[in-house]
Amino acid sequence: MISEFKRGALSRITIWAGQDGPVPLDEGTVGVEYRGRIGHPSSYGLVAGRFSPDNAEVLVDPGLNAELAASISVSGDRVIDGMSEPEYEAIIRKSARELGLCVVVVLAGEIGSSQVVFSRLARVLHMALISPDLMRNDDQVWKSWEGVQ
């Protein structure tokens, strides 16, 4: 399953499960990727995980993250292991605890990611996991991105 949601010509959120998306995922895991305006400081991020309210944690394999980062192309940027940046790691860990997520993949743009991108990705991931039907609607996905309930 893969769904793509565009806002204007410059912003896109992709939500997927299984082998269909930018990176292959195990069963029960969902991924969310954001691509925005090239060169903007909040233009790329990718988070994958599963809902695990009793065991919310970050279980990212640095070797796998590096391998996945090398396989993704982003115009005007280079994809890196998002957990290698302390501020991104902190917001992912905080979001995982608050939202009941077990996060397994975190990828960032070397120059085009931000804490805002990762907090929003975690929120969209959470919504995609707990309300998959709502996440098939463009308006609902972008409301989740913006933090509108």
Average pLDDT for consecutive 10-residue bins of the chain (149 residues)? 89 92 92 84 90 92 86 88 92 95 94 92 95 84 84
CB-CB contact of 105 with 23 (8 Å): yes
What domain range includes position 104? 2-146
- pLDDT given at position 42: 81
Count of domains forming the chain? 1
Whole-prediction pTM: 0.92
- pLDDT given at position 149: 55
- pLDDT given at position 39: 65
- pLDDT given at position 121: 96
HSE-up (13 A, CA, CB side) for residue 139: 1
Buried b (16+ CB within 10 A) or exposed e, 71-110: eeebeebebbbbbebeebbebbeebbeebbbbbbbbbbbe
